[in-house]
Amino acid sequence: MDGMFDQRRYLIPFRSSLLPQIFTDTLVIGAGVAGLRAAIAAAAHGECIVLSKGDLKTTNTSWAQGGVAAVTDPADTTESHIKDTIVAGAGLCDAPAVRTVVEQGPARVREIIEWGMRPDRDPAGKIALGREGGHNAHRIIHANGDATGAELQRCLVEKVRGIPAVRIFEKCFALDLITPSEEPGAPVMGAITHHPKYGLQMIWAKATILASGGAGVLYRETTNPPIATADGLAMAYRAGATLADMAFVQFHPTTLYLAGASRSLITEAIRGAGAHLLDNSGHRFMVDVHPLAELAPRDIVSHAIVRQIAKQGGAHVWLDCRHIASFGTRFPGIAALLKRFDLDPALDLIPVHPAAHYMVGGVRTDASTRSDVPGLYVVGEAAATGLHGANRLASNSLLEGLVFGEIAGRVCAEMKQPAGGTNGGKPAGWGGAGRAAPVPVVSDIRPSDRGELDLNDVRSSLRSSMWRNVGMERTGAKLEGVIDMIDFWARYTLDKIFDDPNGWETQNMLLCGAIIAKSALWRTESRGCHFRTDFPEPREDFRVHDLWRRGRVAPLSAPTE
């Protein structure tokens, strides 16, 4: 990266000694499945604060319709789940990360059921197992049909609220991670935050766990809630952490496509229950594309839909659910959504179109969730653990959050040990035991006198440009063009000092949009959910993770394991 994108270490000027100070052992940024599970584990060895950017019902987890993939049926095998994950990952999965999640997943699922999560069950009382794209077995656990994420969130929130060592700060925006200096490798010591009631605060922590979710709002068409503005990825990058595999953005094949309506996810479980994709003539086109038809991996289904739309000159394809018995009982949330638009799945075809769904890339971590910055651990959608490779297998994300969340919360206890521990002991400058004051941190940013752009215009233009040029089908010329556009907007936006989340979010979106586009331009091949029409085939020399770090003008690369 270069230019405006590497000049700014912090988003705002501040002097840490002049702001309110809060101290904790572990700070968790993000209150979805990964963050809450991390907090539960971290509370076993100290105090913990969880930051939720919005309220606890607006996380990506709460919005998740799909289920939790785990081997719980004796007829299924761990090796089968591992194989399905690696096949979907298109050559970029790190095998140790895949094995960790798949092998530890069943225990984490049993645990949340013991804590009170209510999975769907069959008439005999056994947990009902569904099947989704890319899976060769029925291993998907759902709750309330199409509201698994909301039920999982409810269960974890109740569990966390019952732990005295955990405090939850809702509607608290994390601006930046704190480091004692801007030198490479300076340890993370917490975060500077903003609350609408309490203003700016310094939260000092011996360990910081980033679980801030993804970047779906970078795209005009998205299934994500409004909070998914890439904040965690941007603040980690500014703090010196390495981002990896940023070209890989997964697009969900089926969102409700109606003029004037927001894009609402139509869960993959409906295709798992037998729904078909039809073109305008009523032909079931996926049978011509892949042996698994509608249950092929998501990138294959999404690209098939885009090609079909281009071929027929329309705006969408159709999802046929008319033959699915008891649709309203099995998928009550989707049935209620369709009813609002006078659509009856027993009688009507449903117009669908792909939309940005999941950030496969993220902050690079090791097998224990450590980033390459001391004191910073990263989990969930914000992390690039190597589990997903170049394309996420359906319903592996909630499982990943449970497994790596527990690992991060447990492993970060090393930051409370004397210096010389596994990850270097306490961050330098913490000041010793107890509540001793950390070293002062100063951000001295001068306001720019360069002209201003309208923030809402920048944000809207960025999202449209990302959708048109860095979407499912990419070319070198379009990527170069959007990089130039983002650089122009950045010159008039990244140099400004804002005092509200809208401004900070827009700056974070510009930074991460640029990295995604540059990663896609560098990767002159097609692999997983990254497709270049000018380089339509995968290349063996690109079977590596591309790594992006502040202060470098070109990516590093690391082989897959």
Indicate which residues carry an active-site annotation. Answer: 298
Per DSSP (E only), the strands in 74-196 are 129-130, 140-141, 166-170, 173-177, 190-195
AA identity, residue 446: R
Sheet of 317-320, strand order? 264-265, 249-256, 350-359, 317-320, 276-278
Amino acid at 513: G
| CA 558/CA 561 separation, integer angstroms | 9
Cα 143 to Cα 65, 130, 149: the distances in Å are 9, 11, 8
239 alpha carbon, distance to own chain's centre: 19
Helix (H, G, I), strand (E, B) or coil at 491: helix
End-to-end CA separation in angstroms for the chain: 26
In the block, residue with structure tokens 């979710």? 213
Residues 457 and 226: their CA atoms lie apart, in Å, by 17
Look up residue 353 and give its DSSP letter.
E
- The C-alpha atoms of residue 42 and residue 208 are separated, in whole angstroms, by 10
- The angle at the Cα of 524, spanning 523 to 530, to the nearest 5 degrees, equals 60
C-alpha gyration radius of the chain: 23
CA-closest candidate to residue 84, choices 105, 111, 113: 105
At what angle are helices 396-411 and 33-42 packed, to 10 degrees? 30
Q: CB-based contacts of 399: which residues, under 8 Å, 6+ apart?
A: 68, 69, 70, 101, 105, 108, 109
